[in-house]
Structure 1
Amino acid sequence: MNLPTPAIVPQSAVRRLPRWALLLLCLAYIVPGFVGRDPWRGADMAATGYMLELAQERSSWWAPLLGGMPPDTDGLLPYWMGAWAMQLAPSGISPELAARLPFAALLALTLVATWYGVYCLARSPGAQPVAFAFGGEAQPRDYARAMADGGLLALLACLGLAQPSHEATSYLTQLCCTALVFFALAAAPYRTAAPLLALVAGLAGLVLSGAPALALLYALGGAALCLCSPASSGQPQRHLRAMGLVLLAAALAAAVLAWSLQLWRWRIDSAYDDPSEWASFARLLLWFCWPAWPLALWTLWRWRKQIASRQLHRHLLLPLWFALVAVAAAFTTQPSDRALLLGLPAMATLAAFALPTLRRSVAALIDWFTLLFFSASAIAIWVVWTSTQTGVPAQPAANVAKLAPGFVPEFSAFTLAVALAATAAWCALVAWRTGRHRAAIWKSLVLPAAGATLGWLLLLTLWLPMLNYARSDAPQVQSILQVVGQPPCVLGAGLNRSQIAALRYHGKLIVQPAEGTAHCPWLLVADRRTPSAPSAGVDGQQWTLAAQLARPTDRSDFIWVYRRSSP
């Protein structure tokens, strides 16, 4: 029995979103964050450090080390890509920019794969809108294109996508590979070569970037959906079974590849074992997936009869499976936000299928909330920037000086021009959206996507010097260099991977493990116990405390500098 679809869409509602506008929006989202900024402390800085070690042939390509420590993720593919890009880049390109270029391509590929994945799912028979008695309903191809535009806009609007998707780390590689697998499963009933290529690349990339369990779950879930789908779902039963068998073979191949490379690890390490911590996880879901998650829940509610039917509607079950896997991974592994990142394309897809069912009042609420939120955010960014440049108003500049002591504001005519152009485009878009004659189905997600892009672009132009000063280790490393100079090597005790990479990148310092045999004149300690015993396993009688250096924006984050006092 075919259940009536809740989607009621006339042909007038599937007008084409101008390609130039969509491409310009994607470009404005991708470029900031990859160009012009320093590597930020944490996973971004650590990954850059390993890439430099490989590119400069100071470490093994199969077992990279940084300060004597291996990477905290098993997959080596992201480090290889960054190192290869550094080696192949022309001399005029900085190493960090060269390393980011392939990751910028991965983000672009993620957006493309998500668009085509939604497009293929929207062409499914169960996803089609209600046929009108006298015609005039949306045509399948136009409807699928409009839904794909809506899905891409929903992905760009997700608040949690911005920073992780602009870091040259394994998490962006996993996101791109997840989007490729999602596209492969969505497009499999309609094409052969492209889905097969995307499936192989996606599953292999997930394994080689340290997520073999996700590769296995995606493939097994897709196989179950294909093998259990009845012939009435729009595809011959033989074709569906063939796709299911291919997916089972792909799952087996991914498992064998991970086993042969010794990538299987027990990674269950949840920070939410205590029920009292569940509120923290709920807050993460609330802001990280906004605004996709409320629209996705609305989709599940409005399409609930189709989900519960025996038809196994692929346009609902496929993104639901990917989203559930990501949420489960975020709840059981660390870091939770990076695991949840992989579910954003699926959640954006579910959000897109809410668009044909939204009431006018709900769409208006989304527009007004988005308009007020992002306009207020843009005004705040402009006010703080103006204050730091001119001193008017005085209080924001005083707050910046208090939070980031030593920061010297910088002025760039180019970044100012870019920020002004983006703000003008936002104002023009708001004027367009408030026009009553706009009936496109994707209209409710234009302001969220453009607002998120505007906020990200303004932060990475007007606030870039402040963010680099606050989130980079460069100021602290420069303070260390003023004390130690340029010794042949320094010993490190308690330093994490990001700190070691920053010392190597910003200070050209070679950090050796304190427990090793290297004889270096200086010792850097991040976990000081007592002045006489700077670190476990280090003889405090050989060292004299020379300086206590904190990060300018975090006075509790110290590095203790010791000078060797005995030969």
Structure 2
Amino acid sequence: MSTEVRRPLGQLGLLLLCAAWLLPGLIGHAPWKGGDGEHFVNLWLLLQHHAQPQAEFATPPLYYWMAMATAWLSSPFLALPDGARLASGVFIALALVFVARTGRALYGEGAGWAATLTLLGCMGLLVRGHELNAYTAQFGAGAVMLYGMASLARPGGGWTLGVGAVLMVLAGGAAEALLLLVLAAGLLVLEGYRSPAARRAWATAFVIALVASVVWLGYLSMQGIPFTRPLNLQRWIDNASPRPAFYPTLLGWYAWPAWPLAAWAVYRAGRRWRETGTALPLSILLALLGLYAFDAHPGEEQGLILLLPLAPLAASGLFTLRRGAANALLWFALMLFGFIGLVLWVYWSAHDLGLPARLASRLVRLGMTGVGELRPWALLLGGLVTLAWVVFLVRVERSPLRPMLVWTAGMTFVWTLLMALFLAPLDRRLSYVSVGEALAARVAADECIQTLDVRTQQRLLLSYHSDRLLAPADVGCRWLLVETRQREAEPHVPADWVKQWEGARPGDRADRFHLYVRN
């Protein structure tokens, strides 16, 4: 299959598109409720107990090592959450580079950018790739291993595979690393890998992974640290019932539009499915799905690694796509993202101008702050983003790469427009900054707050935002913070506590906080 095609954008244009996808949303906001806040809490605990190995390796360390490095390097000009979140950008960029190299190794030079754009176009990567997410470390390490497998018969392939396996183990993917090494051994029976050089490369990778793993496990054992959390083994040994249909169902939207293109590539391969370009990514995908069928704690974050074999396989299908299907994908992208962009501008009008009034009142009920106040910078940035997208559509040239390029550019446009128009209101809505400010305004800096029924993530985020000690139990504090999870519920506290404040995140109708002082 020939993939030597004229690119509809130059190298610089494609790099700028990748940067435009990657950077917006990584900085400029506090930790948000959910995965972003959870991983920030883990990082903050490590920073509070950096000298204690038990604390440092209670989670897979690779992502948090990188987050601490990026936070330290950017500390002169970025807040801790923003600097730490750059670690996700580093691992996503690593994955993009090695997925491109995998595409070139399997299908030829032209497939590199196609694989990168297909990966960026996957809907599941958009949000998960822009938050504090420790699974992006597995994502980056998996891309390195994938390239190592694709280039196993070439110089350096064994070292790449071995280093990728080490990174995967440190990222909490011990089971995935072992699985991919076993699959790499199976490659040795395929044509193109039946050579002494390929066998030596696999042996090199295995020795590197084995030695590094023995050293790592030996260190954990010497420190008295159980293997379960650093290796992420609780996913396989917990008593919770696995959900084998979770990931196949998730991929329906998570891997769109990569999976239809990958399915087309497999169909086109026909009886040639044993060739490396089809057998390698397809076997990795099926093996990972088989492994994850036993996952006791499935989730979207863990599903990122499933996108890696799909992207290069889909890229190969893109170059053989029939004209009608290619045009359908192109026009679907134009209509979908054009409509979403129009909706975002209507919501901006409601938020900043108060028109339409009915939508503006709904935004107020949802907890969006500053409704009715014009923000010139948001208008300017949103206008520039929209203009850039229009110019791109006018200038993009015909090419087999164009449908995926327009799709990925459309996703980049709506994400960047969302961040330009609504980052600040969303930050107030989705973070605990406002609650932390309320606590700081009422509790002196040298006093502590004991908590009742406040979940661990919320307690630690409020400690960070208020710069006050929130203790999980009674340690003699004069202040008490209680969380209720029903809209009209009243907390039951002793009579010697007097309520001083009650509130919640803007628009949060479920979780409310009640602050008391001891009488």
Report the AA paired with residue 235 of structure 2: R
How far the C-alpha of 1:315 sits from its partner, in A, is: 1.8
How far the C-alpha of 1:50 sits from its partner, in A, is: 3.7
Q: Answer whether contact 1:215 1:254 (CA < 8 A) is retained.
A: no
Q: Answer whether contact 2:153 2:195 (CA < 8 A) is retained.
A: no
How far the C-alpha of 1:488 sits from its partner, in A, is: 2.4
Within 5 Å, give how 1:213-362 maps onto structure 2.
Answer: 213-225=175-187, 227-229=188-190, 233-235=191-193, 237-253=195-211, 255-256=213-214, 259-260=217-218, 261=220, 262=227, 263-264=230-231, 265-268=233-236, 278=245, 284-307=250-273, 312-328=274-290, 331=293, 332-362=295-325
Helix, strand or coil at the partner of 1:63: helix
Within 5 Å, give how 1:182-201 maps onto structure 2.
Answer: 182-192=146-156, 195-201=157-163
Give aligned pairs, total: 505
1:384 aligns with 2:361: no
Report the AA paired with residue 147 of structure 1: A
How far the C-alpha of 1:45 sits from its partner, in A, is: 2.1
How far the C-alpha of 1:406 sits from its partner, in A, is: 4.6
- The one of the two structures with greater contact order (alpha-carbon pairs below 8 A, sep at least 6) is 1
Q: Answer whether contact 1:491 1:511 (CA < 8 A) is retained.
A: yes
Helix, strand or coil at the partner of 2:285: helix
How far the C-alpha of 1:464 sits from its partner, in A, is: 0.7
Q: 1:284 to 1:395 in 2, by over 3 A?
A: farther
Helix, strand or coil at the partner of 1:93: coil
1:64 aligns with 2:55: yes
How far the C-alpha of 1:270 sits from its partner, in A, is: 9.8
Q: Alpha carbon RMSD of aligned pairs, Å?
A: 3.0
Helix, strand or coil at the partner of 2:53: coil
Report the AA paired with residue 351 of structure 1: A
Report the AA paired with residue 195 of structure 2: Q
Q: Answer whether contact 2:162 2:206 (CA < 8 A) is retained.
A: no
* Cα offsets for 1:178-220 (capped at 9, x unmatched): 111112222232331xx45543442222222222111111222
1:99 aligns with 2:109: no
Distance 2:338 2:478 in 1: 54
Report the AA paired with residue 15 of structure 2: L
Q: 1:289 to 1:510 in 2, by over 3 A?
A: same
Distance 2:197 2:55 in 1: 44
TM-score (norm. length: structure 1) = 0.80
Distance 2:32 2:53 in 1: 25
Q: 1:420 to 1:560 in 2, by over 3 A?
A: same
Mean CA deviation greater in 369-378 or 77-86: 77-86
For structure 1, the residue ranges without an aligned partner over 5 or more in a row are: 1-6, 123-143, 535-539
For structure 2, the residue ranges without an aligned partner over 5 or more in a row are: 221-226
Q: 1:374 to 1:83 in 2, by over 3 A?
A: same
1:49 aligns with 2:6: no
Identity across matched positions, percent: 29
Q: 1:314 to 1:10 in 2, by over 3 A?
A: closer
Q: Answer whether contact 2:449 2:479 (CA < 8 A) is retained.
A: yes
Q: 1:374 to 1:501 in 2, by over 3 A?
A: same
Helix, strand or coil at the partner of 2:420: coil
Q: Answer whether contact 1:219 1:248 (CA < 8 A) is retained.
A: yes
Q: Aligned residue for 1:556?
A: 510
Q: 1:495 to 1:172 in 2, by over 3 A?
A: farther
Q: Answer whether contact 2:368 2:428 (CA < 8 A) is retained.
A: no
Q: 1:58 to 1:428 in 2, by over 3 A?
A: same
Q: Aligned residue for 1:148?
A: 112
Q: 1:258 to 1:90 in 2, by over 3 A?
A: closer
Report the AA paired with residue 49 of structure 1: V
Q: 1:376 to 1:282 in 2, by over 3 A?
A: farther
Q: 1:416 to 1:43 in 2, by over 3 A?
A: same
Mean CA deviation greater in 315-324 or 107-116: 315-324
Q: 1:354 to 1:554 in 2, by over 3 A?
A: same
Q: 1:330 to 1:37 in 2, by over 3 A?
A: farther
Within 5 Å, give how 1:425-504 maps onto structure 2.
Answer: 425-432=388-395, 438=398, 440-504=399-463
Q: Aligned residue for 2:224?
A: none
Q: 1:316 to 1:288 in 2, by over 3 A?
A: same
Q: Answer whether contact 1:75 1:208 (CA < 8 A) is retained.
A: yes
Helix, strand or coil at the partner of 2:60: coil
Q: Answer whether contact 1:50 1:64 (CA < 8 A) is retained.
A: no
TM-score (norm. length: structure 2) = 0.87
Helix, strand or coil at the partner of 1:354: helix
* Cα offsets for 1:100-130 (capped at 9, x unmatched): 33432222222111111111111xxxxxxxx
Mean CA deviation greater in 501-510 or 113-122: 501-510
Mean CA deviation greater in 27-36 or 422-431: 422-431
Q: 1:274 to 1:542 in 2, by over 3 A?
A: farther
Q: Answer whether contact 1:207 1:254 (CA < 8 A) is retained.
A: no
Q: Answer whether contact 1:272 1:281 (CA < 8 A) is retained.
A: no
Mean CA deviation greater in 371-380 or 392-401: 392-401
Helix, strand or coil at the partner of 1:559: strand
Q: 1:388 to 1:19 in 2, by over 3 A?
A: same
Q: Answer whether contact 2:363 2:371 (CA < 8 A) is retained.
A: no
1:510 aligns with 2:469: yes
* Cα offsets for 1:452-473 (capped at 9, x unmatched): 1111111111111222122111
Helix, strand or coil at the partner of 2:510: strand
Distance 2:241 2:126 in 1: 25
How far the C-alpha of 1:79 sits from its partner, in A, is: 2.2
- One of 98, 106, 122 as aligned partner of 1:113: 98
Distance 1:533 1:59 in 2: 37
How far the C-alpha of 1:15 sits from its partner, in A, is: 4.7
How far the C-alpha of 1:334 sits from its partner, in A, is: 2.7
Q: Aligned residue for 1:175?
A: 139
Distance 1:334 1:156 in 2: 26
Helix, strand or coil at the partner of 1:163: helix
Q: Aligned residue for 1:138?
A: none
Q: Answer whether contact 2:247 2:303 (CA < 8 A) is retained.
A: no
How far the C-alpha of 1:532 sits from its partner, in A, is: 7.5
How far the C-alpha of 1:22 sits from its partner, in A, is: 0.6
How far the C-alpha of 1:161 sits from its partner, in A, is: 0.5
Report the AA paired with residue 357 of structure 1: T
Q: Aligned residue for 2:171?
A: 209
Q: 1:60 to 1:490 in 2, by over 3 A?
A: farther
Within 5 Å, give how 1:127-142 maps onto structure 2.
Answer: none
- One of 342, 358, 366 as aligned partner of 1:395: 358
- One of 9, 18, 21 as aligned partner of 2:10: 18
- One of 19, 24, 29 as aligned partner of 1:27: 19
